[in-house]
């Protein structure tokens, strides 16, 4: 083979390698985009509708073809199972103690929304030995392949648990109603997450409003105040859910309103909200991965000062 032919062969080989490398990178990027989103739902004040929002949003995501897991992490008032009309036998505690594995604890709710009943077990996550943590993380790793979205019903207030879950999740929805106390408490939660923990991105969802105009006006007021006192913060209007008696009736039938009354105005808004969130490029993504969520949660690497269940922040 002459020199020119050798050179040509070398170049062809190089370009093939480069092509392979490129396509691998594209594949990786593709799978990165497909990594599950982890969205925390919390509020300053209790009783503003977080549980109903998590549950109905989950059903709406399912109807859009997404595989959804809910983590019931409201340590005070865990009650997703009530709205799902089920009585799960096990919760995360049974996984931590090693009695059960994840697949035995996860239950399947309406329309194939899966649920991890968390209960108070979550408080023990930071106290596990390294070996236990690795075992658990291996289990949670499987969830990345099984789900597109994990929603966390975090609970209300500014306790260390609420802060902790909000830090470990990569996206956070703060729920508020137009009541002044709810808005003030939402502000307090955002303020702590921002000033004490450097969180910059939030979605605000207004529940139990009379109409969109009221929702927008509450959002405008809150975002004006946060822009004034917290400069670089981004609070994005995610949408609203109207005050709707069907929600209450569905709860008393132990069903999500999306299932009991699909034509209700609130059900319509949940569909709009789910659509908005899916189209929205991930707001403030740290690492869109369920395993990393658990890792952050267990190691406390989100913030060394916040220890789950120890003290109010
Ligand atoms: N959009 C709504 N319209 C009417 N009632 C609602 C709405 N959202 C929630 N509720 C009612 O408010 C109460 C508290 O809701 P819940 O989801 O349990 O709140 P949280 O989880 O924030 O404590 C429930 O009785 C529920 O039926
Ligand atoms: Mg709740």
Listed range (48-52, 125-129, 134-138, 223-227) with the worst mean pLDDT: 125-129
pLDDT at residue 19 greater than cutoff 60:
no
Is 242 within the bounds of a domain?
A: yes
User: What mean pLDDT is predicted for residues 205-211?
Assistant: 98
Is 306 within the bounds of a domain?
A: no
Is 264 within the bounds of a domain?
A: yes
pLDDT for res 156: 87
Distance 165 CA to ligand 1 centre (A): 21
β-strand partners of 255: none
pLDDT at residue 16 greater than cutoff 80:
no
pLDDT at residue 5 greater than cutoff 70:
no
Is 91 within the bounds of a domain?
A: yes
Residue 153 · residue 41 · CB < 8 Å: yes
**Closest listed ligand to the CA of 49:** 1
Is 313 within the bounds of a domain?
A: no
pLDDT for res 78: 67
Cβ neighbours of 279 (radius 10 Å): 7
pLDDT for res 189: 95
Ligand 1 pocket by C-beta < 6 Å: which residues? Answer: 43, 46-52, 207-208, 241, 243-244, 247-248, 251, 266
Helix (H, G, I), strand (E, B) or coil at 206: strand
**Closest listed ligand to the CA of 46:** 1
- Residue whose Cα lies nearest atom 15 of ligand 1: it is 49
Distance 244 CA to ligand 1 centre (A): 10
Is 11 within the bounds of a domain?
A: no
Residues in the chain: 313
Confidence of residue 62 (pLDDT cuts 50, 70, 90): very high
β-strand partners of 207: 241
Distance CA 255, CA 251 (A): 6
For residue 70, give the CATH number of its domain: 3.40.50.300
pLDDT at residue 220 greater than cutoff 80:
yes
Instruction: Give the list of residues 6+ apart from residue 119 with CB closer than 8 angstroms, or none.
Output: 72, 75, 78, 91, 92, 93
pLDDT at residue 171 greater than cutoff 80:
yes
Q: What is the pTM of this model?
A: 0.84
pLDDT tens readout for residues 236-248: 999 999 999 999 9
Is 312 within the bounds of a domain?
A: no
Any idea what DSSP says for residue 310?
T
In Å, how far are 5, 20, 29, 166, 256 from 17, measured between CA atoms?
A: 18, 5, 18, 43, 53
pLDDT for res 26: 35
Confidence of residue 222 (pLDDT cuts 50, 70, 90): very high
Choice from 45, 52, 78, 162 to test ligand 1 binding pocket (greatest atom count within 8 A of CB): 52
Atom of ligand 1 minimally distant from the CA of 175: 22
Atom of ligand 1 minimally distant from the CA of 248: 27
Token pair for residue 243?
Answer: 């005050």
Is 116 within the bounds of a domain?
A: yes
pLDDT for res 174: 97
Match 């929603």 to its residue by tokens. 151
pLDDT at residue 91 greater than cutoff 50:
yes
Distance 49 CA to ligand 1 centre (A): 4
What average pLDDT does the structure give for the chain?
A: 83
The range of the structural domain enclosing residue 267 comes to 36-299
- 3-state secondary structure string across 27-70: HHHHHHHCCCEEEEEEECCCCCCHHHHHHHHHHHHHHCCCCEEE
Q: Cα dihedral angle (181, 219, 69, 95), rounded to 10 degrees?
A: -40
User: What mean pLDDT is predicted for residues 225-239?
Assistant: 92
Q: Which residues surround ligand 2, an ion (CB under 5 A)?
A: 50-51, 74
**Closest listed ligand to the CA of 72:** 2
Give the number of domains in the chain.
1
Atom of ligand 1 minimally distant from the CA of 207: 1
Environment class of 86 (CB within 10 Å of its CB; exposed 0-12, middle 13-18, buried 19+): middle
Distance 153 CA to ligand 2 centre (A): 7
pLDDT for res 14: 43
Distance 114 CA to ligand 1 centre (A): 21
pLDDT for res 305: 41
Residue 188 · residue 158 · CB < 8 Å: yes
Distance CA 190, CA 205 (A): 13
String of DSSP letters for 92-128: HHHHHTTSS-HHHH-EE-GGG-EEEE-GGGGGGGGGS
């Amino acid at each position: 083979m002459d020199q020119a032919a050798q050179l040509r062969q070398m170049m062809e080989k190089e370009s093939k390698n480069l092509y392979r490398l490129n396509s691998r990178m594209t594949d990786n990027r593709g799978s990165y985009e497909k990594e599950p989103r982890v969205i925390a739902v919390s509020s300053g004040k209790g009783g503003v509708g977080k549980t109903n929002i998590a549950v109905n949003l989950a059903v709406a995501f399912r109807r859009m073809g997404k595989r959804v897991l809910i983590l019931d992490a409201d340590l005070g008032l865990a009650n997703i199972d009530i709205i799902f009309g089920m009585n799960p036998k096990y919760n995360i505690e049974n996984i931590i103690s090693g009695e059960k594995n994840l697949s035995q604890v996860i239950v399947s709710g309406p329309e194939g929304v899966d649920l991890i009943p968390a209960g108070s077990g979550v408080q023990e996550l930071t106290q596990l030995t390294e070996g236990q943590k690795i075992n658990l993380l291996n289990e949670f790793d499987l969830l990345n392949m099984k789900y597109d979205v994990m929603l966390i019903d975090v609970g209300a207030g500014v306790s260390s648990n609420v802060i902790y879950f909000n830090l470990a999740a990569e996206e956070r929805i703060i729920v508020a109603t137009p009541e002044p106390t709810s808005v003030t408490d939402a502000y307090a939660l955002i303020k702590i997450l921002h000033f004490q923990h450097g969180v910059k991105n939030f979605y605000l969802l207004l529940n139990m409003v009379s109409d969109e105009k009221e929702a927008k006006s509450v959002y405008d007021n809150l975002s004006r105040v946060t822009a004034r006192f917290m400069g670089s913060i981004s609070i994005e209007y995610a949408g609203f859910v109207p005050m709707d008696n069907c929600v209450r009736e569905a709860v008393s039938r132990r069903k999500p309103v999306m299932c009991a009354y699909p034509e209700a105005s609130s059900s319509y808004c949940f569909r709009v909200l789910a659509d908005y969130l899916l189209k929205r490029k991930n707001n403030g993504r740290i690492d869109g991965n369920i395993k990393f969520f658990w890792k952050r949660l267990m190691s406390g690497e989100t913030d060394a000062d916040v220890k789950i269940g120890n003290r109010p922040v």
